[in-house]
């Protein structure tokens, strides 16, 4: 299966647009299909997940596509988490070293740039208004229905990539194939977007270089900055139960809820009640499947094969890393797609499952632990250990956000570090005495040595 020459990419979202660019750079003739109309004509429709947190893995893929500089100019660095207590006190906790940050980027703006670049290649054709009907498993072709003309067509190519998101039509059509494992799993929490406009003078209403969190145990509110001076807020709350969306049925209950838990945001969200009633309450799904390929011809990428919850800011980053990894495998295997597909399945599914798990665990961290003294102490000691033992200790958040270490290694390391901190946090008077405490070093070095022995 060498020297394939043309490819179909289904879905011109972030991953599909980027992947089309990388294929085009290799000289492939690419047909990119998108069910929406050309977003560049109509402008993006907001309402859901309009900003993203770009980190190392995302940037690397953008560099490959040659679009990183332009996006950097449109992004806002967030150097850490700013926690808001119920009484309005602020606590800042850095994500990594001084020069490290995750970057708030507009999903719409990023998608637009990627589409423009894809379109600039002579060997890329973008077909809008084409709803994918799935793969015909007999002919191994992909069907489309045009929204405008109602015409149904069947398209073929050497390779077909399904980058059509969590509710992928490509994946749907192969779901019934023998031995295709699949799961979709919703959190008990839903989310709703709200917005904090700029101040009258155009300034940001909150510190713009932080990801703001109002952690409240079983639920939370977060806010990310946008370059126009506004913040996009997202409320994550159980659908049902004592404190839940089902209980917030009218203006009175919504206002009482915000007064009790998020009082400092009420002056910042002027259209709170309007937005709360008008914006949808959406679910948070985790999608897993295996294998990601079908018939040595079709490959799923991004949310189509591994939709995750948003709490590690790695949904887009992991989808972009799919592109990097697959692109590198094409080089390694010198264009042998059969081997490339095999290796991509073998390595990447494990990593996608790992970031899926990490993202779920980070929800507990964000909504609950970040408000907890022992957790903040751990973060400080992590930073200290990383400074003192840079080769032996890297905090897991840094592995995920500021490195290209495999997600599966980061997950294994989290389990290891949990064991380390179980011991460190038991050291006498650790709260007041951790920076120069020889006990910390003893425990750390023992822990590190046991790792070397076991590996």
Relative to beta strand 152-155, strand 181-196 is: unpaired
CA distance 405 to 369: 25
DSSP 46: -
Burial of 125 per CB tally in 10 Å (0-12, 13-18, 19+): middle
Two structure tokens written together for 217: 């145990």
Does 350 participate in binding a copy of itself (rule CB under 8 A)?
no
Q: Measured from the CB atom, is 169 or 268 closer to a copy of itself?
A: 169
Binds a copy of itself (CB under 8 A): choice among 37, 154, 181, 253 = 181
Taking CB under 8 A as the rule, which mask of x and - marks residues 427-446 in contact with a copy of itself?
Answer: --------------------
Binds a copy of itself (CB under 8 A): choice among 178, 200, 202, 390 = 178
As beta bridge partners, residue 8 has 31, 160
Q: Which residue has the tokens 């406009």?
A: 197
Q: Which residue has the tokens 């839903």?
A: 190
Two structure tokens written together for 152: 């149904």
Q: Measured from the CB atom, is 172 or 207 closer to a copy of itself?
A: 172
Minimum separation from the CB atom of position 186 to a copy of itself (A): 5
Does 192 sit behind a cis peptide bond, omega within 30 degrees of 0 on the bond before it? no
Binding span for a copy of itself by CB under 8 A among 71-79, 174-182, 197-205, 264-272: 174-182
Two structure tokens written together for 87: 């009484």
Does 180 participate in binding a copy of itself (rule CB under 8 A)?
yes
Q: Measured from the CB atom, is 286 or 401 closer to a copy of itself?
A: 286
Binding span for a copy of itself by CB under 8 A among 23-31, 136-144, 171-179, 446-454: 171-179
Binding span for a copy of itself by CB under 8 A among 28-36, 136-144, 178-186, 422-430: 178-186
Does 92 participate in binding a copy of itself (rule CB under 8 A)?
no
Relative to beta strand 282-290, strand 181-196 is: antiparallel
Minimum separation from the CB atom of position 165 to a copy of itself (A): 12
Does 185 participate in binding a copy of itself (rule CB under 8 A)?
yes
Does 167 participate in binding a copy of itself (rule CB under 8 A)?
yes
CA distance 230 to 247: 28
Q: Measured from the CB atom, is 92 or 167 closer to a copy of itself?
A: 167
Does 182 participate in binding a copy of itself (rule CB under 8 A)?
yes
Does 175 participate in binding a copy of itself (rule CB under 8 A)?
yes
Sign of CA pseudo-dihedral 117, 120, 125, 131:
positive
How big is the site for a copy of itself, counted in residues (CB under 8 A)? 15
Minimum separation from the CB atom of position 240 to a copy of itself (A): 10
Binds a copy of itself (CB under 8 A): choice among 44, 121, 204, 239 = 239
Backbone torsions φ then ψ of 415, nearest 5 degrees:
-60, -40
248-287 binders of a copy of itself (CB under 8 A): 282-283
Q: Measured from the CB atom, is 77 or 238 closer to a copy of itself?
A: 238
CA distance 266 to 450: 51
Two structure tokens written together for 309: 């919850």
Q: Which residue has the tokens 């592109």?
A: 323
Does 184 participate in binding a copy of itself (rule CB under 8 A)?
yes
Binding span for a copy of itself by CB under 8 A among 154-162, 180-188, 270-278, 437-445: 180-188
**DSSP code string of 122-180:** TTEEEE-SEEEEEEETTTTEEEEEETTT--EEEE--SEEEE---TT-HHHHHHTTSTT-
Two structure tokens written together for 326: 């697959």
Minimum separation from the CB atom of position 172 to a copy of itself (A): 8
Instruction: List residues binding a copy of itself (CB under 8 A).
Output: 167, 175-176, 178-186, 239, 282-283
């Amino acid at each position: 299966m060498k020297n394939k020459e043309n490819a179909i990419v289904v879905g011109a979202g972030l991953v599909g647009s980027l992947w089309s660019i990388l294929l085009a750079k290799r000289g492939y003739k690419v047909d990119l299909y998108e069910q929406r109309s050309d977003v560049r004509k109509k402008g993006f429709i907001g309402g859901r997940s309009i900003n993203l947190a770009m980190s190392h893995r995302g940037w690397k893929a953008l560099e490959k596509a040659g679009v990183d500089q332009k996006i950097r100019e449109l992004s806002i660095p967030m150097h850490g988490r700013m926690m808001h207590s119920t009484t309005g006190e602020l606590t800042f906790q850095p994500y990594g070293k001084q020069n490290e940050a995750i970057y708030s980027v507009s999903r719409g703006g990023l998608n637009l740039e990627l589409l423009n670049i894809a379109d600039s290649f002579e060997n890329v054709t973008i077909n809008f208004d084409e709803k994918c009907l799935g793969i015909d498993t007999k002919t191994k072709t992909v069907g489309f229905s045009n929204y405008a003309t109602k015409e149904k067509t069947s398209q073929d190519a050497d390779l077909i990539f399904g980058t059509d998101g969590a509710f992928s039509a490509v994946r749907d059509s192969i779901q019934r194939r023998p031995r295709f494992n699949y799961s979709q799993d919703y959190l008990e929490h839903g989310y709703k977007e709200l917005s904090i406009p700029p101040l009258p003078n155009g300034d940001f209403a909150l510190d713009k270089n932080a990801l703001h969190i109002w952690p409240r145990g079983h639920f939370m509110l977060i806010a990310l900055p946008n370059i126009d001076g506004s913040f996009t807020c997202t409320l994550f709350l159980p659908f049902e139960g004592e404190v839940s969306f089902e209980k917030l049925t009218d203006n009175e209950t919504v206002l009482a809820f915000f007064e009790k838990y998020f009082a400092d945001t009420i002056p910042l969200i002027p259209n709170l009640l309007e937005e709360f009633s008008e914006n949808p309450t959406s679910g948070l799904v985790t999608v897993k499947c295996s294998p990601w390929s079908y018939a040595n011809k079709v490959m799923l990428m991004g949310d189509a094969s591994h939709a995750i919850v948003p709490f590690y800011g790695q949904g887009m980053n992991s989808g972009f890393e799919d592109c990097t990894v697959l692109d590198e495998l094409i080089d390694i295997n010198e264009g042998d797609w059969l081997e490339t597909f095999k290796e991509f399945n073998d390595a990447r599914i494990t990593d996608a499952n790992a970031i899926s798990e990490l993202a779920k665990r980070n929800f507990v961290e964000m909504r609950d632990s970040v408000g907890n003294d022992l957790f903040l102490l751990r973060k400080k000691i992590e930073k200290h250990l990383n400074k003192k033992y840079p080769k032996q200790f890297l905090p897991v958040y840094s592995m995920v956000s500021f490195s290209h270490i495999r997600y599966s290694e980061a997950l294994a390391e989290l389990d290891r570090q949990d064991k380390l901190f179980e011991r460190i946090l038991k050291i006498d008077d650790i709260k007041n005495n951790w920076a120069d405490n020889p006990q910390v070093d003893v425990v750390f070095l023992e822990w590190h040595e046991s790792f070397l022995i076991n590996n």
